Structure 1
Amino acid sequence: MAELAFFEDVARQRIRRERIFREHTDLLANGDEWLISRFRLSRAVLLELCAVLGPALARNTRRNNAVPVPLQVLTTLGFLATGTFQRELADRSGISQPTLSRVMPDVLGGIVSLTHLYIKFPYTVVEQANKKAQFAAMSGFPNVIGAIDCTHVAIRAPSMNENAFVNRKHFHSINVQVICDADMLLVNVVARWPGSTHDSFILRQSSVGRRLEAGAVRDGWILGDSGYPLKQWLLTPFANPQSAEERQYNISHTQTRSVVERTIGLFKGRWRCLDRTGGMLLYRPEKVCQMIRACAVLHNMAQLQNVPLPPGAEAACVRPDPDPQPQAFQPNGAAVRQRLAVMRRL
């Protein structure tokens, strides 16, 4: 009779299965080389990041098995660094896939909230002087405060406005605007436009573009490729150079602007979830944009602390591939470019 009652209880689901908690792994106990290879940041930087995000990520719960803040942060960074499926990363960390899916948005949001501390466009005279000195030391091109380009992050075809996300290379993506300095620090990142959006439109609609157009920078230039319009504050190459001075200007311009191509390569090499060689991101566009912004903050954190890339993580330098659109220009921008072309130091 007892056995019969037992099986009846099982059939009626009266016996509650005992929850089994896996032991949480102390990932920070490992050395720098191991941590950088998996999370792209050194132990010191990871500890600082966990301390900053801790108050927002600590769970108010009486349970003894809440996911520790370092485990939340490092598992999320593991995804950004590799683009590996969530289930595999969760298994490595000793948590479940649903748990990782639940904590990731909070970690990403916390990192993005640090944007104002790590990504700053040089609007002040002092900031601009520093950027100009960096570029001049690198290539000799004067008065440069940044180099601009866009890059595509591949995504799964979204359920809404699917056609808007198909770029000119015929895959679905987010078109991301990047402006960097000579040290490959990101000074502006715009991640909110679908892949079909033209680079120049993104700049025109961005806060940096609007402020520069309004005269926020009086004596400094951004360098862009031929897909951007020539302006007094945005210098592009000569489409058809007619003189030795113009050809030399184009050579100097290309050499200087190439830093943004290397920066994008480093950015995607460090955070492989953004690189198409790792496949597309299988998330809604809004979440992908959040991931891109978080990666931008983390990129600058790594650069400022001189954290190296692990062997094999380098991405190929992004080749210049301007959007095929006739170049527009402002007369005063053309005058600035022509005057610069005849300067002997170029």
Structure 2
Amino acid sequence: MDALALLEDHANGRIRLERVFRDREDFLAHDDDWLISRFRLPRALLLDLIAELSPILERPTHRNRAIPAHIKVLTALGFLATGSFQRELSDRSGISQPSLSAALPAVLDGIIQMTSRYIRFPYTVVEQANSKRQFAAMSGFPNVIGAIDCTHIAIRAPSENEFVYVNRKNVHTINVQIICDPSMVLTNLVARWPGSTHDSFILAHSGVGNRLQAGAGRDGWLLGDSGYPLRRWLLTPFPNPQSAEERRFNIAHGRARSVVERAIGLLKNRWRCLDASGGRLLYHPRKVCKIIRACGVLHNLALRDAIPLPPDLPPPQHVDPDPQPPPRHEEHQHGARLREEVMRRV
């Protein structure tokens, strides 16, 4: 009878079961190789990042088992680094999957707030001179201030405006603009356009594109593939090279521009949540864009300290369609003349 009464009290909610707290693994007790394999950063950088984000993440609470800031940061980085399902990551961290979901946006927002310090386009004379010198040394192409390309991040089909996210490979994606310097450091990242958006449209509606169009490029230029229109500040390869000079131009152009392709590969390789091998990102497009922007900041943070990639990572799986030529009316006569002049100098 006592047992039946106990069951009845429990069923009626008169008895509250004691909460069971799982042990949390002390991730920071591991060596740097282990930390880089899981979170892509060594202990020193992890501690710096945790210290910077702690004021944002450690809000006042009456809970006596509040999740510490370092657990939120490390669990979020584990997701960005591996693309693993949140339940697996939360189990390792000793927190529930709903708690991880609640913590992830705050960690992303905190990292994104660091963008102005880590992702900066070279508008000054000194910054541009450094980029020009390094690009010329690696490729023989003069006056280059950056290489530009777009890459697609696969997402789950959204419930609203689903069709605009379908790219030319029939995959739902976010189309992301990337500009980088000769060292694969990102100098611009635009993550807000659906997969059907043309690369040239994204550039024309970006802050960098508008400033370069207004003359901020000085006497330097970006290098882009055939998906972009010629501009006085943006040079593309000859579509059908006829002469030896045009072929030499295209070779030098491709050698310099290839750095952005390597930068995109490194970004997706380090932060596997962005790569198709990690599966599609199963979030609303706005949250996916935050994930991409946070990974861009972390990419530059890792490059600044020359953090190596973990060994034996599987090769990236790209979902990028081939470049789509811009509309013919976007050809720029000044850009065409400039390309001819540069061709004679290469």
| Match in the other structure for 2:64 | 64
Alignment partner, residue 195 of structure 1 = 195
Match of 2:339 in 1: 337
The residue that corresponds to 2:278 in the other structure is: 278
The letter for the 2-side match of 1:337 is: R
After superposing on structure 2, the runs of 4+ consecutive aligned residues of structure 1 that deviate more than 3 Å are 1-5, 314-320, 324-328
Could you tell me how far 1:317 is from its partner in structure 2? 9.3
Instruction: Report if the CA contact (8 A) 1:224-1:234 is conserved.
Output: yes
CA separation of 1:164 and 1:6: change in aligned 2, threshold 3 A = same
Distance 2:127 2:3 in 1: 79
Displacement, 1:314?
6.1
Residue number in structure 2 paired with 1:151: 151
Q: CA deviation at 1:313?
A: 2.6
User: Using the alignment, how far apart are the partners of 1:131 and 1:11 within structure 2?
Assistant: 70
Q: CA deviation at 1:107?
A: 0.2
For the 8 Å contact 2:277–2:317, the answer to whether it is kept is no
Query: Which residue of the partner structure matches residue 215 of structure 1?
Result: 215
Structure 2 residue 297 is matched with structure 1 residue 323: no
Q: How does 1:173-188 map to 2 (within 5 A)?
A: 173-188=173-188
The alpha carbon displacement at 1:63 in A equals 2.8
**Which residue pairs with 2:311 in the alignment?**
311
Deviation at 1:132, TM superposition (A): 1.1
Aligned to 2:215, the other structure's residue is in SS state coil
Alpha-carbon separation, structure 2, partners of 1:256 and 1:9: 73
Matched, 1:112 2:104: no
Q: Measure, in 2, the Cα distance between the counterparts of 1:116 and 1:314.
A: 32
Contact 1:25 1:71 in 2 (8 A): no
Question: Which amino acid is 2:56 matched to?
Answer: A
1:20 corresponds to which letter in structure 2?
A: V
DSSP 3-state at the match of 2:312: coil
| Cα offsets for 1:153-209 (capped at 9, x unmatched) | 000000000000000010100000000011000000000000000000000000000
Deviates more, 1:102-111 or 1:332-341: 332-341
Deviation at 1:5, TM superposition (A): 3.6
Alpha-carbon distance in structure 2 between the residues aligned to 1:329 and 1:23? 62
One-letter amino acid matched to 1:75? T
Aligned length: 344
- 5 Å-filtered alignment, 1:26-105, equals 26-105=26-105
Provide the residue aligned with 1:22 in structure 2: 22
Asked if structure 2 preserves the Cα contact closer than 8 Å seen for 1:59 and 1:66, the reply is no
1:298 correspondence with 2:298: yes
Letter in 2 for 1:94: G
1:142, CA displacement in angstroms?
Answer: 1.1
Partner of 2:232: 232
CA drift at 1:140: 1.8
**TM-score, structure 2 normalization:** 0.96
Which amino acid in structure 2 is aligned with residue 338 of structure 1?
E
Cα distance between partner residues in 1 of 2:7 and 2:332: 84
Q: Which TM-score applies when normalising by structure 1?
A: 0.96
How big is the alpha-carbon RMSD for the aligned residues of Structure 1 and Structure 2?
Answer: 1.6
Q: Which moved more, 1:228-237 or 1:6-15?
A: 6-15
5+ residue gaps, structure 1: none
1 CA distance for matches of 2:8 and 2:315? 60
Q: Does 1:6 align with 2:6?
A: yes
Question: Which residue in the other structure is 1:252 paired with?
Answer: 252
Secondary structure in 1 aligned to 2:146?
A: strand
Query: Gaps (5+ residues) in structure 2?
Result: none
Moved more, 110-119 or 330-339: 330-339
Contact 1:223–1:253 (Cα < 8 Å) also in 2: yes
Deviations 1:121-143, CA, capped at 9 Å, x for gaps: 00111111111122122112111
Identity of aligned residues (%): 65
**Aligned partners of 1:212 and 1:234: how far apart in 2?**
9
- Cα distance in 1, alignment partners of residues 340 and 243 from structure 2: 11
Q: Would the alpha carbon gap of residues 139 and 16 (structure 1) be closer, same or farther in structure 2, given more than 3 Å must change?
A: same
The answer to whether the 8 A contact 1:24-1:94 is kept is yes
Instruction: Check conservation: 2:268, 2:316, Cα contact below 8 A.
Output: no
* Offset of residue 2 of structure 1: 4.3
- CA deviation string 1:68-108 (max 9, x = no partner): 11110010010011111100110011111011001000000
Quote the Cα distance in structure 2 between the aligned partners of 1:99 and 1:20. Answer: 15
